[in-house]
Amino acid sequence: MKDSQSSLPLNVIQRLRKRYPAPATALKWRNPWELLVATILSAQCTDVQVNKITPELFSRWPDPESLSRANPQQVQELIRPAGFFRTKSRNIMRSAESITGRFQGRVPADMENLMSLPGVARKTANIVLYGAYGINAGVAVDTHVKRVSQRLGLTRSQDPGKIEKDLMSQFEQEDWGDLNHMLVLLGREVCRARKPLCDNCPLHDICPKFISI
């Protein structure tokens, strides 16, 4: 990054914290297991849609053990509106089996074991670790985080793994979890893929789109 951008991460954090003083996922959950399942279901699906599905899902199968013994067809039918329902149902049921058998019914609180679960990559693991356990292991990178960080000049990569490393190298570890939530919120509300609302952006005057770097 160029010298003129050296203060950009600090400005980004300060301004986003002012706009979003209590950033959090829009997914509704009550424990680590529910956050894990909801995050897996949210892939290629809106949080709003996932929140319509999970109340009945968790009512019928409230924990990993009960879901591991569920009828696969019933699970598929319930989560069908989330899309990719066959893959997602297989992943959450296999994760339920693994958590029940390998982790005594408790969702792992470390990156390695979380990523050993079916359907769990770094993005999902980061969200669960920070949301459920308060652990800043990395920065979850979704389409919003990717788009906003690229527009701000925080990364030039297209690869989520490299984008995460770029963000981790520029921001303090204590900010990583909130950074994800704040960039997601900014991406949804202001820095949209189409027709971004630049005049309403708290980062307008430090965005490379409007200043000479």
**In the chain, what percentage of residues exceed pLDDT 70?**
95
pLDDT of residue 6: 61
If you average pLDDT over residues 11-30, what whole number do you get? 97
The whole-chain average pLDDT of the chain stands at: 95
Tell me the average pLDDT across 154-179.
97
pTM: 0.92
pLDDT at 56: 98
> What average pLDDT does range 20-36 have in this prediction?
97
Distance (Å, rounded) from C-alpha 199 to C-alpha 6? 24
pLDDT surpassing 50 at residue 3:
no
pLDDT at 204: 93
Question: Please, which contacts does 18-23 make with residues 24 or more away whose CB atoms are closer than 8 Å?
Answer: 18/202, 19/182, 19/186, 19/202, 20/181, 20/182, 20/185, 20/186, 23/178, 23/181, 23/182, 23/185
**Average pLDDT in the 143-163 region?**
97
Is the pLDDT at 5 greater than 80? The verdict is no
Cβ(122)–Cβ(164) below 8 Å: yes
- Give Cβ neighbours of residue 82 (< 8 Å, ≥ 6 apart): 41, 42, 45, 49, 50, 53, 88
**What pLDDT is recorded for position 2?**
45
User: Is 41 strand, coil or helix?
Assistant: helix
Q: At what angle do helices 143-151 and 160-170 cross, to 10 degrees?
A: 60
Using one digit for the tens of pLDDT, what is the confidence trace for 71-102? 999 999 999 999 999 999 999 999 999 999 99
On whether the CB atoms of residues 160 and 149 are closer than 8 A, the answer is no
Give the pLDDT of residue 7.
84
Let me know: does 100 contact 94? Beta carbons within 8 Å. no
CATH class of 32-133: mainly alpha
Residue 146, pLDDT above cutoff 70: yes
Which tokens is 83 given? Answer: 């899309």
Structure tokens at 129: 């670790």
> How is the chain split into domains, by residue range?
3-23+139-206, 32-133
Tell me what pLDDT residue 1 has. Answer: 41
Active site residues: 123, 142
| CATH classification (class only), 3-23+139-206 | mainly alpha
Beta carbons of 122 and 159 less than 8 angstroms apart? no
Per-residue confidence (pLDDT) for residue 209, from 0 to 100? 77
